[in-house]
Amino acid sequence: MKQKIRSFIKSHRRDCLLGLAVLFLLLGSAAALYFQRQVGDKSQVVVSFQGTEILRTDLDKDQKYIIEDGTARETDFHTVLASLGEEAYPSNHNVNLLTIKDGTVYMSESNCPGLVCVSMEPLTSDAYDIPIVCLPHGLLVTIETS
């Protein structure tokens, strides 16, 4: 068997070399494309409140934000509306929780009426045509790519 392979390679040496060369070229260009995408993907999440930008951050970094009465602050992933207690009562504050994870951004929770923002599709760097809107709280979440 080994002998057969060896004689095959010997008689098809040029084809084998050519095949190898093509294979390396393909691998090389695939790798180049891959790294270019990694470096070139500079998508940013932009949140505005009543038309004014209040948050701009990278889409490729996992993070979670509390947006309260038009002000955004970073929090950890354990934070949920229930853990905020009275702070999250709709009669006290307008509160939204925005999650950025695995290259997607979505409104994970809100105390707005209707919860339309929470049911909207997550945005990604490939799909961001329809922004996430929380109309009752005056919030707009979009993605900007460079």
Decide if residue 134 touches Zn ion (CB under 5 A): yes
User: Which residues ranging from 114 to 133 are in contact with Zn ion (CB under 5 A)?
Assistant: 117
Of the candidate residues 43, 94, 104, 110, the single one contacting Zn ion (CB under 5 A): 110
| Min separation Cβ 103 and Zn ion, Å | 23
CB 73 within 8 A of CB 65: yes
Q: How many residues bind Zn ion (CB under 5 A)?
A: 4
CA triple 95-46-43, angle to 5 deg = 135
| Min separation Cβ 92 and Zn ion, Å | 16
Decide if residue 112 touches Zn ion (CB under 5 A): yes
CA dist., res. 44 & res. 141, Å (int): 10
Structure tokens that stand for 85 in this block: 């207690």
Structure tokens that stand for 73 in this block: 């602050």
Kindly list the residues in this chain that would bind Zn ion in the complex (CB under 5 A).
110, 112, 117, 134
